[in-house]
Chain A
């Protein structure tokens, strides 16, 4: 599910060679993480070789898109203008259900196209279960997160 976020002007990811597949899969609405094709261990952020077995062969493994909030912040201005417009918004770090050591920064929102400050701050809680959604901003698709339905 990819929708257009109303708030543009946010910084866009600038993928490097290692990270490009992550964003290409995100554009298709898939959350995938780099894994070693030799020993199978997941790694993040993506990089050219495996820190465990030094293999240069990698693959991109689909994730369930479920996770838990490891930590969160609420930035207040002064901020870049596009972010100040939505401040105080939240930034969360999500530990993936399949790989708790992999933590993705993102935003907790009420729906994929909702603004970054759409969730009541009282609902931000370490350990809360979240589910990935995808939003298009400035022509690029980024993962966002919603609270998992109980």
Chain B
């Protein structure tokens, strides 16, 4: 047993972070917020060229030939960067929908009772008939409501957990950065224990979610995946809230990015396989 990232995995993660920093930095993020509902197709194709969607397709089929652990690492980076779009749905459609692997076709999917990015999609997985638009709380994720859908796909559940993990790690960093910089009473607020302890809890939740998500990617076991999702949802949602608290009044502004992380975490938490379903799945296994 050696439960650490390999050098190749570290390189993959660093490469993805670098790519997203270049193609979807803070300015691009805020520009996207100012133009809601528009998916940047050039960025989508760039992701396709980088192998984001074809990551798990065999090399013989033009894919990258990697596995779930690697997919989890790149989705974590996507989550960190708040990358918009139906990333999970398109990744999962790479083998079956023409153009999805290369990022030419945007694929939406019915997930739980919602569909993300329905109007931008060139293909839809699942039955989206009767979809009704709603005014999405997340400025970067247009949503439609649909009648309840079938059982969740474990890989979709896991990749969602990975995105949530990205948010959890990012909001911890943002809180710590702010706590170091912002001064009150003549000292950085990070020297106040009440603030230190909020930050410590942010880290503990993120790290607990991290090992759960990585291990589930290695075992691909449905119960491990359910557990990972449960902890990652909690780490993202509660983490974003605590990050907002550390930011004080500034955290409550549209200007600060904290609300974008929180809103996206809420959207992802509603996808199928979230905490209620996950807890029921684990409980049923326990009582067996």
Instruction: Note whether A and B form a binding pair.
Output: no
